[in-house]
Chain A
Amino acid sequence: MSFRVRPGKKGLRLRLHDLEAAIMDVVWGREMSSFAVGDVLAVLEKQRDIAYTTVMTTVARLYDKGILRRERDGRRYLYAPKMSREEFLATTAREVLDGAIGGHQAMAMLAEKVSEASAGELDDLEALIQKRREELGE
Chain B
Amino acid sequence: MTEAVFPLLGTVFVVLVVLPAFALFTKIVLVVVERLEAEGQHEHNLRYLLLVGSSLVPIGWFLSAALHQVESGKSALACLLDHDASGLCIEPSIFAALLGGLVAMMVVRLVLGHQRVPRSSSNEAQLLATRLEHLLSTRPAMADLRGRLVVTEARDFALGTRGFFRPEVYVGMAFAGRLSDEMLASALGHEREHIRGWDPLRYLVLQVALAVNPLGRGLLESHATRWQASREAHCDREAVVDGAAPLSLADAIVRAARPSSREAVALGARDTAVLEFRVRLLLAFAGKAPARCSHRHSSAVALALAVLLIVLLLPHHTGTAALDALHLGTEQTLAYFQR
Contact = CB atoms under 8 A, between A and B. Distances in A.
A103 to B, nearest CB: 4
Contact of A101 (B233, B283, B284, B286): B233
A125 B276 contact: yes
Contacts of A101: 229-230, 233, 277
* Interface residues on chain B, size class: 35 or more
A51 interface: no
A114 B270 CA distance: 11
Contacts of A7: 217, 221-222, 225
Contacts of B277: 93, 97, 100-101, 106, 109, 111
Nearest to A107: B38
Contacts of A19: none
Contacts of B275: 117, 125
B244 interface: no
A125 B49 CA distance: 34
A5 B222 contact: yes
A102 interface: yes
B283 A132 contact: yes
Given A119-B259, A129-B254, A138-B247, A111 B226 contact: no
A111 B286 contact: no
Contact of A113 (B221, B225, B273): B273
Contacts of B222: 4-5, 7, 99
B258 A99 contact: no
Interface string B14-54: 00000000000000000000100111101000000000000
A102 B272 CA distance: 18
A102 B38 CA distance: 5
A136 B287 contact: yes
Contact of A128 (B274, B281, B283): B283
B249 to A, nearest CB: 10
Contacts of A110: 280
A109 B280 contact: yes
A138 to B, nearest CB: 7
Contacts of B279: 125, 128-129
A109 B222 CA distance: 21
Contact of A116 (B39, B217, B272, B283): B272
Given A5-B222, A101-B233, A102-B37, A126 B251 contact: yes
Given A7-B222, A7-B225, A128-B279, A121 B38 contact: no
A121 B222 CA distance: 24
A118 B271 CA distance: 11
B274 A136 contact: no
A112 interface: yes
A33 interface: no
Contacts of B269: 117
A61 interface: no
A10 B283 CA distance: 25
Contacts of B280: 109-111, 128
A104 interface: yes
Give the one of A104, A110, A116, A125 with max B CB within 10 A.
Answer: A125
Contacts of A4: 222
Contact of A104 (B40, B233, B271): B40
Interface in B243-273: 247, 250-251, 254, 257-259, 269, 271-273
A75 interface: no
B19 to A, nearest CB: 19
A10 B284 CA distance: 26
A20 interface: no
28 contacts: A7-B217, A7-B225, A8-B221, A10-B271, A92-B273, A93-B273, A93-B277, A97-B274, A98-B38, A100-B273, A100-B274, A101-B277, A102-B37, A102-B42, A103-B37, A109-B277, A109-B280, A110-B280, A115-B272, A117-B272, A117-B275, A122-B254, A122-B257, A125-B276, A126-B251, A129-B250, A129-B283, A132-B247
Interface of A: 4-5, 7-8, 10, 92-93, 96-104, 106, 109-119, 121-122, 125-126, 128-129, 132-133, 136, 138
Given A10-B271, A99-B222, A138-B247, 12 more contacts: A96-B274, A102-B38, A103-B37, A106-B277, A111-B273, A111-B276, A111-B277, A112-B276, A125-B254, A129-B247, A129-B254, A132-B286
